Amino acid sequence: MTFKKISFELFKSLSSIIPNEWLLKHTGTSVIHPFYHLVTQDEHIPLHIKHLYKPKTAQQFEKDLDFLLLHYQPLHWDEIGKVQAKKGFYLSFDDGLQEFYTTVAPILSRKGVPAAFFVNSDFVDNKALFFRYKASILIEKLMQNQTLITKDEVRRLLNGKKDSNPINAIKSIQFESKDKLDELAMILEVDFKSYLSDQKPYLSSVQIKSLMAQGFLVGSHSVNHPSYASLPLNEQISQTDQSLKYLENTFGIDKHLMSFPFTDHGVRKGYFEAIQNIYPDLISFGTAGIKKESILHHYQRIPMEEFEAGAETVVKHEYMYFLLKEIVGRNTIIRS
């Protein structure tokens, strides 16, 4: 269990006791950036998500919005970084999943909340599938029908670890080894192309254009969702540049937004300097919660699905965690 999870367990009982206004005052943080990936219409979780995290239902998401709207004003993109006098939040969604169109956008429109959604250029129109989503689908297939393959065969494919759990081994596969998932899919008789065609997990170009016409902003989430810290600088820049150019050429975007896939942890100052030379207007987002950031026009967001709790508990924990980190001088991100 990470230190952050330990702190959540310690602090969650305080969330109903400590007023939100007190936390805002003592942290000096009046603007927050909550983000989600998926909101489901009901309790059914798609297979590509099922073994990764538990998303919010539409009802839970509405409760989250009610809390946010009670304590903050919804911000528009051009207010980010400029409005500190009022309490505000800017909402965003990663991975470009089709539920943003079918489930989330109608709720946001009804409540008058603007938002941005971030897409991977390789995945739009269901052209390809994120490697972590492949892992979730394969885990489900293995759990439902283990007679398709013995555990020893799985272990041989997954680095030959005799003492490893096949499920955990599949979960541990990283971007650099993602081809193993395609090999395993052949053994398990899983057809990712059919899954993309049948389930259509991602937004289509038509849906994206419709969302933009409704006032939602679309931004880059990289080309194919790598961990930036694992890439050399030139590939980091290429991932962002290629995906933003795709959005310019396909959808005519004139506002450049980008959210880091996974995390921006470990991304050095040189990347931000280089990419801002190419896109001086770029606004980018990380996933570190409530933290001070040393990079201009780069903002940290609160992962709202991390602890399977409501917005009040998650947001107040972030404030308390910020104060805890402040004691040891670790609530500001310094880029080397």
Q: What is the model's pLDDT at position 157?
A: 73
How many structural domains are present in the chain? 2
Asked if residue 148 and residue 95 are part of one domain, the reply reads no
The last residue of a domain, from among 155, 180, 196:
196
- Burial status of residue 204 (CB atoms within 10 A of its CB: 0-12, 13-18, 19 or more): middle
Structure tokens at 143: 């759990």
Claim to verify: residue 120 and residue 141 sit in the same structural domain: no
Q: What is the pLDDT of residue 192?
A: 98
Look up residue 256 and give its two tokens. 């450049």
Query: For 52-74, what is each residue's pLDDT tens digit?
Result: 999 999 999 999 999 999 999 99
Q: What is the pLDDT of residue 81?
A: 81
pLDDT at 84: 64
User: Are 73 and 206 found together in one domain?
Assistant: yes
> Does one domain contain both 212 and 223?
yes
Residue linked to tokens 């390789």: 122
Same domain for 190 and 313? no
Range of the domain at 33: 3-128+202-333
Orientation of helix 20-27 relative to helix 311-327, angle to 10°: 30
The answer on 29 and 94 residing in a single domain is yes
Please report how many Cα atoms fall inside a 13 Å half-sphere around the Cα of residue 312, on the Cβ side: 16
CATH number at residue 220: 3.20.20.370
Residue-level pLDDT at 167:
83
What whole-number distance in Å separates Cα of residue 138 and Cα of residue 145?
A: 11
CA-based nearest residue to 203, from 191, 189, 187, 214? 214
Are 181 and 294 in the same domain?
no
**What is the reported pLDDT for 6?**
82
- Identify the domain boundary among 196, 212, 243: 196
Query: Which residues of the chain carry a pLDDT beneath 70?
Result: 1, 83-85, 147-152, 154-155, 159-164
What was the pLDDT predicted at 242? Answer: 98
Specify the pLDDT at position 85: 61
Cα-based angle 268, 269, 270 (whole degrees, multiple of 5) = 90
pLDDT tens, position by position, 207-226: 999 999 999 999 999 999 99
Q: Within this chain, do residues 136 and 209 fall inside the same structural domain, yes or no?
A: no
Q: Give residue 293's pLDDT.
A: 92
How many angstroms separate the CA atoms of 319 and 290, rounded?
Answer: 7
State the DSSP code for 125. Answer: G
Q: Are residues 182 and 220 both part of a single domain? A: no
- Domain end, chosen from 196, 216, 239, is at 196
- 121, 190: one domain: no
Do 149 and 235 have their domain in common?
no
Cα distance between residue 125 and residue 104, in whole Å: 18
Same domain, 152 and 207: no
